[in-house]
Structure 1
Amino acid sequence: MAPYTFELFAPYNKQAGLRLKNANARMFGLDIPMELNEQDGYWRATLDLADGIYHYQYKIVTKSWFEPEPEPALPDYTNDETKTTEENEEIRKNYHNEHEKRVQEVKERNKKREEEITFTEVWYTFVDPYATEVDERGSDDAFRSVGILIFKNGKRIVDEYEWKYDNHIPLVSNDKLIIYEIHIGDFQDRFTDVTSKIDYFVELGITAVEIMPIKEYPGEIGWGYTPRYHFAIQSTYGTTAELKEMIDAFHKHGIRVIMDGVYNHCDVSAPYTAIDHDYWFLHDPKDRVYCWGPEWNYQKYDEKYKIWPARKYVGDSIKYFINEFHIDGIRFDAATQIANDEFLRVVVEHSKQQAQDRGFGPEFYCVGEYLPDKPEYVISNGGPMDGVWHESFYWRIRDSVFTGTSSWEDLKDVIDARRQGYKNITDVVNYQSNHDHDRLLVDIGKELQIFDVDAFRRVRMAFTLQATSYGLMMIWMGAEFGEYKEKTPGIAKLDWSLIDDREDNSNAINKEQLQYYKDVIQLRKLNLALSTPNLEFIFEEENDQIMAWHRWNSPRYDPHEQGDHVVAVCNWSSTTYEKYEILNIPRNGKWYEWLNNDKEYIVANNKLTVDDFIDHTVRVFIYEVKRSEEEERVSS
């Protein structure tokens, strides 16, 4: 037996209690009173515990007025074909009126609670906001969800996993990130399934994975963007030990792990909403259109206890994930809605310092989702983030794939993000799709009715644009082999049969697409010019929809002592040119086409003649260095 203190920060609530049982017991016993320390605002109860697994809950006299309103948007519905237009209109009107009535009833109750303070005598039972594991069916009573506490050798532990590969091989620096965005459930169900496919990630060549939210959220299926508990992981994905094993496996192969963090809001059933709503959250949302749940109040400062409550809780959660799970970066979801650069700047600085103090991993990368993206949000321009999701790149490239280059200058702005005001290659993360958008292949089919070879070729064009543009690059899982499912917060598992070996070779186009992605990623990794800030447009023929740009690096960083040089030439038109002359090539001599078996071109008078220039393709030429030679040099 050893003493353990349960504690809950709820400084202005009147009463609090603890419910505790052995994990094997079905029901809780009598409530255990907790005492408030007025000096620090914590309720505490100290008990002697034997080693084992326990379930626990807290009870408190709530200070919240909060009751969620019904969803503001009416659901879609179709007309009843057996009824007249007038009857359908009457049904629509009645439904709308009933919905508005329910909304008003909730608003009236909330208003009454605020004015009369009648809510302060209501007891609320809930799971510890700091619980590191939650069982939603841990009790047979009305309050089923329980926190799980593992007690061993007189101490609370999370699990017994021992890290193996923290310093196994060096992890890449931020400017070498090639990111693969993944949803655990749709990739292949659980953490262990992802671990079992580690060779796939290695062969693809990516250097980082960005994992969509894994903090515990309501239900068993979803994207995780309404977290309920900020320290517990989604149990349907697996255990904390299995998550650590997965991250360890990535680190073993030099792949960094970036976690998607939701710090703007939480689920309406998160514990603090009913403990003392307005102490932790904004009373009203900043923007009702873009509101996904109670929004943390990062402006709230408690003068009595000298604390920023929301900042501390969210900061503690970030600190926990960095230390406990050895992550290498964070994506800040809905950073536009957070709208508090002071808080973000502090939490990013602390995260970087904390990661550095661990003693492994060269850097920590913090990227924000800002809509629209702007250079003022990145550190190089005085903002809080290392980089931003480059949403303007997505829209411009998508438009160019669909309709050609309707705005030549806008297109150049996103290929060379310095024209938008960004200063470092790490300032922007370029993508042709992500979880918020359908994959480009899906959009091309739905909107243009283009399929098969022509559609796949346009996707390849967009991906090669990513690889040769200014900025980092990100792949949304499945795009690399032609996954066809539309986006949905429901189940949309990757169809791995698309790259299986089939006797009839009916999936040859998917396997070829995967190989193309591998080749482009290899180009990006091996050629130093593509991870420098150097980019210039050298040829433009808007009437023909042809553009070329040059990437290079300084000779002092180059093993060939001449500087690496890459020229990308893009044909946005619907025309295939048998031969096309590109002027202003930066160097005369031999150039090799990386994605075409090192085909050799001789440039004289700074002119390159491209053969068989198919519509909607990007051709990539490397100066004086064959792909085979570069790969051999790196492997040796």
Structure 2
Amino acid sequence: MIPLNISNKSLGVSFNTEEQAEVYIWSPKAKKVAISLPDQKKTIALSEGEMGYWQITTSEIKPGDLYKVVLDEEHERPDPASLAQPEGVHGPSQAIDVKSFKWTDSNWNNVPLEDYILYELHTGTFTPEGTFAAMEQKLDYLKELGVNAIEIMPVAQFPGSRNWGYDGVLPFATQDSYGGAEGLQQLVDACHQKGIAVILDVVYNHMGPEGNYLNDFGPYFTEKYNTPWGPALNFDDAGCDGVRKYFTENLLMWFRDFHIDAVRMDAVHAIKDFSATHILREMKMCVNDLMKETGRTHYMIVELDLNDTRFINPLEEQGFGMDAQWVDEFHHALRVTAGGDRNGYYADFTGLQHLAKAYTDAYVYDGQYSPHRDKIFGIKAENNPGKQFIVFSQNHDQVGNRMLGERTSQLSSFEMQKLMAGAVMVSPFLPMLFMGEEYSEPNPFLYFVSHTDPELAEAVRKGRKAEFAAFHAQGEAPDPMAEGTFNESKLQWNLLDKDPHSTMLKYYQTLIRLRKELPALSKLNRRQLDVEPNDEQQTLILHRWHNNDHVVCLMNFSKSPQQVTLPSHVKNWTIVLDSAAPEWKGPASSPDKADAAQSVTVQPESIIIYANHA
């Protein structure tokens, strides 16, 4: 492992207790490295140390100063470990003292992972203002909804002010248009006061194209592997030690200096590393050391498309130690069951049978032949607890990667939306909502960017059109560069007190409350579960229990009423939720009480939840 100071950020410019600036730049290619202070018209030479690091401790750099790194007296570049870019990705970096923030969350304890109810949001479109400060004003709303963990899409500095966040090029710098580093710290502090954990989406598998100056400093990329975004980040090729340190320090910074509770690591299957110690495993070991030092708890969640338990198995079992992963397959099976298209990767999913398998096995493909991949795929996740899997009916990818960015609210009936929400919330996994789904937001979530390089902007436009060339019947793909595309993706908060949106919101609040209150739902024991799909009826019975508490969930995905029989070995069922009831604008109510083996009519596209406290 690369030697790291767990307690402090070393890369870039930081300030010590004597208010001196400590500068530490990795540039093994350079013969000379200096810091330029344009406002003072001054240049400070750095001393060469070991392993390509250049350094100096000086009183000449103060918090708030703008600076650039000068390589070989020729190239001026932003600091790769810059904490602030007030003039954008091409402009000078700004020295800030990230440790000067006055935290008020000393009594905060992270929410236990098994209790997480996640809510994914994008800072720029979550509120009209698109800032951290505006998001803070919505925390009471989120608290009343019942979520206890917000997952913020990436905030690393990207070009312009409109971007999903996956085009970030300065991982240590918090997007200036959102409110910068202090704005994020203030938001996290406020979340903790409300009892809400903060998950930050981080991108360690690629860098964006505009403002990416890393190759001027060192071998950050390798030609050994290709990724969908070009050459892979260099985690195992010559010169990789500095790259591994760079990203590990970044992760530790978010936890230590921003009090982030968990990270969601983007598409880790695209991280290429054949080192004896995989970078994710190394990061986990460092995070464990940090937690010992601070007493705080942090989780590492991964987006993973490999169905490989090695990523989420504990370190002591030679796994990478990741705490949880997104499970796209649950989403895919649910979408197909709900009547969605079966093109692309959805072609692998049969619907109801695969949804039943997702409930029991987490992975749908765990050693079977995958037609879409044309190979046997996956491994069984037999010993991984339910808290290691995050499921959803929609997320930024599944919505935004559609040409017109349609949410479930535009693709499914009001009744089916309620059924899909219920199907997620009663699973033995961690449920996640995508912003706005809780009140059936009709606005799309489109793909948008604001590149300042005209050639790159045009290339993105053409690429988006080419990607959907076969979909002309739906019209043209919206221009990702247009400000209107971004504005069209913003949530409409004025809908909350209008029907049917207000009804859907109350429905979600009820679902989340039941999830928390009923032990059979809140305890994520994957072995205390029975599932019974019926292809002919298009119904699914999910029975979960904890000690003497039982819940049975009757789901009807068909467009006709269906007769479903309750389990024969449990008596005295009481209805706790019926999505078809008139209070949820449904067609009809079901009996409040039912007994063992009783036949119950389940309305079309609806879910009934019965509870029993034996």
> What amino acid is aligned across from residue 393 of structure 1 in structure 2?
F
Structure 1 residues 226 and 539: alpha-carbon distance in aligned structure 2, compared to 1, 3 A threshold: closer
Give the aligned partner of residue 330 of structure 2: 393
* 1:90-138 superposed Cα distances (whole Å, 9 cap, x missing partner): xxxxxxxxxxxxxxxxxxxxxxxxxxxxxxxx9321111122112226x
Give the aligned partner of residue 93 of structure 2: 147
Q: SS of the residue aligned with 2:511?
A: helix
Residue number among 281, 305, 314 corresponding to 1:371 in the alignment: 305
Q: Tell me the number of residue pairs that the alignment of Structure 1 and Structure 2 aligns.
A: 512
Residue number among 413, 420, 444 corresponding to 1:462 in the alignment: 420
CA distance in 1: counterparts of 2:51 and 2:309, whole angstroms:
41
CA distance in 1: counterparts of 2:409 and 2:44, whole angstroms:
61
Structure 1 residues 209 and 149: alpha-carbon distance in aligned structure 2, compared to 1, 3 A threshold: same
Residue number among 43, 47, 51 corresponding to 2:54 in the alignment: 43
Residue number among 286, 290, 295 corresponding to 1:350 in the alignment: 286
User: Shift of the alpha carbon at 1:52?
Assistant: 5.5
Is the contact between residue 324 and residue 387 of structure 2 (CA under 8 Å) also seen in structure 1? yes
* 1:519-550 superposed Cα distances (whole Å, 9 cap, x missing partner): 11111111122232244335443322222121
Q: Does 1:413 align with 2:357?
A: yes
Residue number among 567, 579, 587 corresponding to 2:570 in the alignment: 587
* 1:384-421 superposed Cα distances (whole Å, 9 cap, x missing partner): 22222111111110001116994443221112235753
CA distance in 2: counterparts of 1:229 and 1:444, whole angstroms:
34
Q: Does 1:161 align with 2:101?
A: yes
CA distance in 2: counterparts of 1:309 and 1:126, whole angstroms:
18
* 1:347-405 superposed Cα distances (whole Å, 9 cap, x missing partner): 12322442353224xx4222211225444432168542222211111111000111699
Give the aligned partner of residue 70 of structure 2: 59
CA distance in 1: counterparts of 2:531 and 2:172, whole angstroms:
51
> What amino acid is aligned across from residue 544 of structure 2 in structure 1?
R
> What amino acid is aligned across from residue 213 of structure 2 in structure 1?
P
CA distance in 2: counterparts of 1:539 and 1:45, whole angstroms:
66
Give the aligned partner of residue 471 of structure 2: none
Q: SS of the residue aligned with 1:437?
A: helix
Structure 1 residues 601 and 486: alpha-carbon distance in aligned structure 2, compared to 1, 3 A threshold: closer
Q: SS of the residue aligned with 2:428?
A: coil
Residue number among 564, 589, 600 corresponding to 1:610 in the alignment: 600
Q: SS of the residue aligned with 1:349?
A: helix
Is the contact between residue 401 and residue 458 of structure 1 (CA under 8 Å) also seen in structure 2? yes
Residue number among 523, 526, 534 corresponding to 1:541 in the alignment: 534
> What amino acid is aligned across from residue 496 of structure 2 in structure 1?
I
1:97-246 mapped onto 2 (5 Å cutoff): 123-136=74-87, 145-150=91-96, 157-158=97-98, 160-168=100-108, 170-188=109-127, 189-246=130-187
User: Shift of the alpha carbon at 1:40?
Assistant: 4.7
Is the contact between residue 532 and residue 553 of structure 1 (CA under 8 Å) also seen in structure 2? no
CA distance in 2: counterparts of 1:247 and 1:162, whole angstroms:
12
Give the aligned partner of residue 532 of structure 1: 524
Q: Does 1:498 align with 2:495?
A: yes
User: Shift of the alpha carbon at 1:345?
Assistant: 1.5
Is the contact between residue 301 and residue 309 of structure 1 (CA under 8 Å) also seen in structure 2? no
* 1:31-72 superposed Cα distances (whole Å, 9 cap, x missing partner): 3333323x45322345433855311111113xxxxxxxxxxx
Structure 1 residues 3 and 482: alpha-carbon distance in aligned structure 2, compared to 1, 3 A threshold: closer
Residue number among 421, 431, 446 corresponding to 1:473 in the alignment: 431
**The structure with more radius of gyration:** 1
Give the aligned partner of residue 556 of structure 2: 571
Where in structure 1 are there 5+ consecutive unaligned residues? 62-121, 138-142, 151-156, 501-506, 555-562, 626-636
Structure 1 residues 365 and 192: alpha-carbon distance in aligned structure 2, compared to 1, 3 A threshold: same
CA distance in 2: counterparts of 1:585 and 1:524, whole angstroms:
24
Structure 1 residues 594 and 257: alpha-carbon distance in aligned structure 2, compared to 1, 3 A threshold: same
Give the aligned partner of residue 507 of structure 2: 516
Q: Does 1:6 align with 2:23?
A: yes
> What amino acid is aligned across from residue 519 of structure 1 in structure 2?
T
CA distance in 2: counterparts of 1:210 and 1:434, whole angstroms:
11
Structure 1 residues 526 and 260: alpha-carbon distance in aligned structure 2, compared to 1, 3 A threshold: same
Give the aligned partner of residue 633 of structure 1: none
| TM-score normalized by the length of structure 2 | 0.77
Is the contact between residue 180 and residue 475 of structure 1 (CA under 8 Å) also seen in structure 2? yes
CA distance in 2: counterparts of 1:571 and 1:416, whole angstroms:
18
Is the contact between residue 547 and residue 569 of structure 1 (CA under 8 Å) also seen in structure 2? yes
Is the contact between residue 210 and residue 259 of structure 1 (CA under 8 Å) also seen in structure 2? yes
Residue number among 320, 325, 341 corresponding to 2:258 in the alignment: 325
Is the contact between residue 267 and residue 294 of structure 1 (CA under 8 Å) also seen in structure 2? no
* 1:271-310 superposed Cα distances (whole Å, 9 cap, x missing partner): 322223xx221136523xx12x5532100355xxxx7111
CA distance in 2: counterparts of 1:521 and 1:244, whole angstroms:
28
CA distance in 2: counterparts of 1:414 and 1:568, whole angstroms:
15
Structure 1 residues 60 and 459: alpha-carbon distance in aligned structure 2, compared to 1, 3 A threshold: same
* 1:594-617 superposed Cα distances (whole Å, 9 cap, x missing partner): 34699865444x213324x21111
User: Shift of the alpha carbon at 1:193?
Assistant: 0.5
Give the aligned partner of residue 386 of structure 2: 425
CA distance in 2: counterparts of 1:182 and 1:2, whole angstroms:
37
Structure 1 residues 584 and 620: alpha-carbon distance in aligned structure 2, compared to 1, 3 A threshold: same
Q: SS of the residue aligned with 1:416?
A: helix
Q: Does 1:33 align with 2:25?
A: no
> What amino acid is aligned across from residue 392 of structure 2 in structure 1?
Y
Give the aligned partner of residue 13 of structure 2: none
Give the aligned partner of residue 310 of structure 1: 243
User: Shift of the alpha carbon at 1:462?
Assistant: 0.8
> What amino acid is aligned across from residue 107 of structure 2 in structure 1?
N
CA distance in 2: counterparts of 1:445 and 1:527, whole angstroms:
28
CA distance in 2: counterparts of 1:56 and 1:403, whole angstroms:
52
Aligned alpha-carbon RMSD (Å): 2.8
Is the contact between residue 133 and residue 232 of structure 1 (CA under 8 Å) also seen in structure 2? yes
Identity %, equivalent residues: 24
Give the aligned partner of residue 32 of structure 2: 15
